[in-house]
Structure 1
Amino acid sequence: MCKYSYPAVFKKEHTLYIGHFPDLDCPIAFGHSFEDAYEMAEEELLLLLYDREAGHKSIPHPTPAGKIAEEQGNIVLVIMIDTQTVSGP
């Protein structure tokens, strides 16, 4: 189990905040507040990477946040997680 840091891109669309991880194939996080979207993204990242570790699947290297093109209105943040916090089956 490891600690990871991945950049996430968030933007506001109508009444929702939407986020995704450019380096990972994972569902989109969303919430009615930025905090809700951030928490959902954090949880998705944790579960996705824990699953990849448990299945001995490859985990891509994260792109440095400074290399992700920021479009107007987007927020790029690095989300840090520790898969050791997940209790297995």
Structure 2
Amino acid sequence: MCWYCGSPVTDPEPIGRSLRCADCGKDLRCCRNCRFYISGGGCSESHGEIPQDKDRANFCDWFSLSPALRSAGTGEKAARDAASSAKTAFEDLFK
């Protein structure tokens, strides 16, 4: 699934640097879609480069699509939308 929208990644390996999610347009070859990505921004591959922007395409030679991303899921967009809705509901209490 795309890290952002949760759509399954159906493109075959290797994932090219220019490939984007068909649903949301985010880069597929980025740290957040890699099997070596550690939540919080790290990389478990000892030789991996650590790009500044984990959401954008990069040239890391160690990139490998995480197997978990081949199926659909919720993605980060759903979590952001839920947080935004909760914040709006809270702010509406004080209007």
TM-score relative to the length of structure 2: 0.26
Task: Give the helix-richer structure, 1 or 2.
Answer: 1
TM-score, normalised relative to structure 1: 0.27
Find the structure with the greater CA-based Rg: 2
